[in-house]
Amino acid sequence: MLMDFNAGEVILLLVFAIVLFGPEKLPELARKSARLLHYFRRIANDAQGRLRQELGPEFADLELSDLNPRNFVAKHLGADAAADLDDVAKELKGARTSIDEALHASGTSSIPDGDAVEVPVPAPRPTPFDTEAT
């Protein structure tokens, strides 16, 4: 997740860092944090390159965003298939709203969200006990 900072926020963070750490330690902390950021980026790029190498040439253009089902469908099946899936989702949402309105009009409570279904739980049975077995 990338964060966008405007100039006022950067100045506020800089003043806060100077007050918190002092002007003597700030350059050293900046160098250490830059080294740490560089190290983490190198590890991430290394892992990404190794994953591409292990998966082979057919996955050479694989991106992390491709693992999102919507992006995967749009990339591999085309924008038309993604638009069709969005239309189906809208129709299902509309059907859900219609059912909720009909149930509300009839005085019945709404359908529970998701696939939640109440299942009656049977009463527990006593466990058989054999006095000679112990």
The pLDDT tens digits of the residues spanning 48-74 come to: 888 888 878 777 777 777 777 777 777
Q: Please determine, for residue 110, whether its predicted confidence score (pLDDT) is greater than 60.
A: no
Instruction: Tell me what pLDDT residue 122 has.
Output: 78
Distance CA 49, CA 60 (A): 9
Q: Is the pLDDT reported for residue 34 higher than 70?
A: yes
Which DSSP category does 130 fall into?
Answer: -
Of 124 and 106, more confident: 124
Evaluate if residue 113 carries a pLDDT over 60.
no
